Amino acid sequence: MTGSKIIEKARQEKRTVLTEIEAKTILGEAGINCTETKLATTREEAVALSEKIGYPVVLKISSVDITHKSDAGGVKVNLADQTEVEKGFDEIMTSCRAAFPDADIEGVAVQGMAKIGTEIIMGTIKDPSFGPVVMFGLGGILVEVLKDVAFRIVPIEKKDAVAMTGEIQGKKLLEGYRGQDPADLACLQDMLVRLSDFVEKTPGIEEIDMNPVFAYKDGAAVVDARIILSAD
Ligand code: ADP
Ligand code: MG
């Protein structure tokens, strides 16, 4: 399904929350690199998709009613074989059904295990007076606490994206810290511009949350994404 069809379908179903699979499809279409993610509705399907994607894999609950998936026991990373996928599928279902008895669960999202990179967050929010705003920051617990993020009003150009990646306090972490690889800043800046272009041309996007994005020496990958549509 194309991005615009996904949004149309959600509207018809009178929902404002898109699943991770839907969000990644839309962002992928906008030229933003997301880990390939597929829906499995049964344990057998989860195994078949895992074999196709290649181990190790990550399984996550797929439900519009569960946005904080880890909190509900809905994420299992680094599953190495069929047995682990079967066990992971069952554990996710049991745990999420217990945490959210009324949730509408469509299945489990299967994706490849991305190699670890520098954790970034990127997204957009809608400011009541300025309209859509893009944001960029470092991910992880420290930054959740420090709220070290840069904001710009949409639309942004490359030079604004360059300023954003340069103005966060933790920018040293992006330049390569204690033997860590430096992050591919050009790629991150390109993602910010694409994100801005996408919300500028797509009406009805309330919020986009890409958390985390893994930044590498070459490239970056979105491993979790959420899109909220405006209520009207
Ligand atoms: P939540 O809804 O709780 O935010 P996430 O999809 O962000 O769930 O998953 C939780 C954590 O699991 C992420 O912060 C990341 O560290 C790890 N993770 C998720 N997806 C992947 C993946 N495809 N590859 C590697 N690690 C992942
Ligand atoms: Mg997340």
**3-class DSSP assignment, residue 189:** helix
Contact 190, 161 (CB under 8 A): yes
180 against 22, higher pLDDT: 22
What whole-number distance in Å separates Cα of residue 174 and Cα of residue 130? 29
Share of the chain above pLDDT 70, in %: 100
Question: What is the band of 176 on the pLDDT scale with cuts at 50, 70, 90?
Answer: confident
pTM over 0.75: yes
pLDDT at 211 over 90: yes
Query: Which of 20, 70, 119 to probe ligand 1 with, by most ligand atoms within 8 A of CB?
Result: 70
Query: Which of 19, 24, 33, 58 to probe ligand 1 with, by most ligand atoms within 8 A of CB?
Result: 58
pLDDT at 115 over 90: yes
Instruction: Give the pLDDT of residue 208.
Output: 98
User: Please, how many CA atoms are within 13 Å of residue 97, restricted to the half-sphere of its CB?
Assistant: 9
Question: What residue type is 171 in one-letter code?
Answer: K
What whole-number distance in Å separates Cα of residue 24 and Cα of residue 46? 18
Of 44-53, 140-149, 177-186, 201-210, the range with the lowest mean pLDDT is: 140-149
pLDDT at 101 over 90: yes
Tens of pLDDT, residues 27-36: 999 999 999 9
Question: What is the band of 216 on the pLDDT scale with cuts at 50, 70, 90?
Answer: very high
Mean pLDDT of 172-197: 93
pLDDT at 179 over 90: no
CB of 226 closer than 6 angstroms to any ligand 1 atom: no
What whole-number distance in Å separates Cα of residue 132 and Cα of residue 155? 8
Tens of pLDDT, residues 34-65: 999 999 999 999 999 999 999 999 999 999 99
What whole-number distance in Å separates Cα of residue 131 and Cα of residue 206? 10
Contact 46, 59 (CB under 8 A): yes
- If you search the block for the tokens 């070459």, which residue do you land on? 218
What whole-number distance in Å separates Cα of residue 223 and Cα of residue 28? 12
pLDDT at 141 over 90: no
Question: What is the band of 144 on the pLDDT scale with cuts at 50, 70, 90?
Answer: confident
Could you give the domains of the chain?
36-112 (3.30.1490.20), 118-229 (3.30.470.20)
Length of the chain equals 232
Question: Which residues pair with residue 135 across a beta bridge?
Answer: 123, 151
CB of 113 closer than 6 angstroms to any ligand 1 atom: yes
| Of residues 171, 139, 169, 136, the one with CA closest to residue 154 | 136
